[in-house]
Chains A and B, each alone.
Chain A
Amino acid sequence: LAKTTQPISMDSYEGQEVNITCSHNNIATNDYITWYQQFPSQGPRFIIQGYKTKVTNEVASLFIPADRKSSTLSLPRVSLSDTAVYYCLVGDIPNDYKLSFGAGTTVTVRA
């Protein structure tokens, strides 16, 4: 199991780019890096996933250096509705049956 470390909270303003870095020094060869977003009173939902280098979708970008010991989720031009908790999960889904999430990063976007 790759343990992850990410900042507890981050504040931003509308229109800014938010970058959240997750450390996972013990990542294994078969592990993927997946980021989730959770709004209050809802379950976490998938944002983006990557194995190495850079991945981009309509919501975010994920940057993974060559050693894969960290990853950075980038949210471009955030809005108030991006206020949520963001979780970094590292593992080999579904073969890792014991995947637990950390406390996540609470991102607060202000007007």
Chain B
Amino acid sequence: DTAVSQTPKYLVTQMGNDKSIKCEQNLGHDTMYWYKQDSKKFLKIMFSYNNKELIINETVPNRFSPKSPDKAHLNLHINSLELGDSAVYFCASSPPGRGSGNTIYFGEGSWLTVV
């Protein structure tokens, strides 16, 4: 059973195109995230959603638009793709309630290459 699944895993597209990455979690978590990992391995938070509501948008260009149709899904749509958007995008989720045992569960990543 895949806890956090995202599709597609690999995506090669041309500059200027619009593309979407889908994410679903079957863990019953309230909070979902999108992270971007660059070539230097930094994992930067892009968006955080809690119960379908946007909580954080970390200075991401408005070409990136997340959409959460329900608590289990958080999709990422990217308009007018640029070369600098090439990266690995990770979807993640975490359970409610703080404290011991709470952690972030990551998907397998989506490798986006813009040419």
Q: Which residues from chain A sit less than 8 Å from chain B, CB to CB?
A: 30, 32, 34, 41-46, 49, 51, 85, 87, 89, 92-95, 97-104, 106
Contact = CB atoms under 8 A, between A and B. Distances in A.
B90 A99 contact: no
B55 interface: yes
Contacts, number: 76
Interface of B: 4, 30-31, 35, 40-45, 48, 50, 55-56, 58, 90, 92, 94-96, 98-109, 111
Contacts of A106: 41
Contact of B56 (A89, A93, A98, A104): A98
The A interface is mostly helix, strand or loop, or mixed, namely loop
A57 to B, nearest CB: 12
Contacts of A85: 41
A43 B88 CA distance: 10
A34 B92 CA distance: 15
